[in-house]
Amino acid sequence: MGAMDQDILKVLYTEKEIAARVERMGKQMYEDLQDKNPLFVSVLRGAFIFMADIVRACQVKSDVEFIAVSSYGNAMSSSGAVQITRDIQQDISGRNLVVIEDILDSGNTLFFLKQYFMTKGAASVSICTLLDKPSRRAKAITADYTGFVVPDEFVVGYGLDYCQKYRNLPYIGVLKPEVYGG
């Protein structure tokens, strides 16, 4: 047991379950993307662990890119206003983008990013999210690839944080309310 486990109320997906799901998603994506020379764009920081696993599960000729956005700060609900805090570093015109995200929640972030990348001339923008929380959707957006559909609970681990902590938990779980003063 590590120092963070005692803050977890329950585990939603174990390390093994995540690995198995990511493996299957990667194979499915390979079928669609094998002749598309995709550019995988990871949304920092939450998606960094998922990114590392999904690009290895999808053995397609491709390259990787990173973008950082902020809409939450340290709060637990979306503000709706998305800001790019670190932009992509290359020309994406004509490229087939696959945005790699940790969680699709209100949809504000991915709705904004999809439009942003299309404006920059991407040939296509598909969305791959590990988690989907459809109950909280505020924007009309759906993912092309989804790992797990999650209930309306704040989750941490496998890249997802609370106040920048818990990203390095190997599983995905729900925090005890007392940890965030709930």
Binding site residues, ligand XMP, CB under 6 A: 43, 46, 71-72, 78, 101-109, 154-156, 160-161
Of 53 and 105, which has the nearer Cβ to Mg ion?
Answer: 105
Q: Which amino acid is at 140?
A: A
Q: How far is the CB of 55 from ligand XMP (least distance, A)?
A: 18
Q: How far is CA 156 from CA 18, 70, 148, in A?
A: 13, 17, 14
Distant-in-sequence, close-in-space partners of 64: CB < 8 Å, separation ≥ 6: 39, 40, 41, 42, 51, 55
Distant-in-sequence, close-in-space partners of 23: CB < 8 Å, separation ≥ 6: 57
Q: How far is the CB of 25 from ligand XMP (least distance, A)?
A: 18
Q: How far is CA 77 from CA 16, 73, 93, 137, in A?
A: 29, 9, 33, 12
Of 60 and 167, which has the nearer Cβ to ligand XMP?
Answer: 167
Closest CA to 164 of 156, 152, 172: 156
Q: How far is the CB of 26 from Mg ion (least distance, A)?
A: 23
Q: Per rule CB under 5 A, is residue 46 in the interface with Mg ion?
A: yes
If phi over 0 gives left and psi between -120 and 50 gives alpha, with beta otherwise, what is residue 73? left
Which of the choices ligand XMP, Mg ion, none does residue 8 contact, using the CB cut-off of 5 to 8 A by kind? none
Of 34 and 78, which has the nearer Cβ to ligand XMP?
Answer: 78
Q: Which amino acid is at 66?
A: F
Which of the choices ligand XMP, Mg ion, none does residue 71 contact, using the CB cut-off of 5 to 8 A by kind? ligand XMP
The residues facing 99 across adjacent strands are 41, 127
Which of the choices Mg ion, ligand XMP, none does residue 108 contact, using the CB cut-off of 5 to 8 A by kind? ligand XMP
Q: How far is the CB of 89 from ligand XMP (least distance, A)?
A: 20
Active-site residue, from 53, 102, 105, 132? 105
- 105 carries an active-site annotation: yes
> Interface with Mg ion by CB under 5 A: which residues?
46
Which residues are the active-site residues? 105
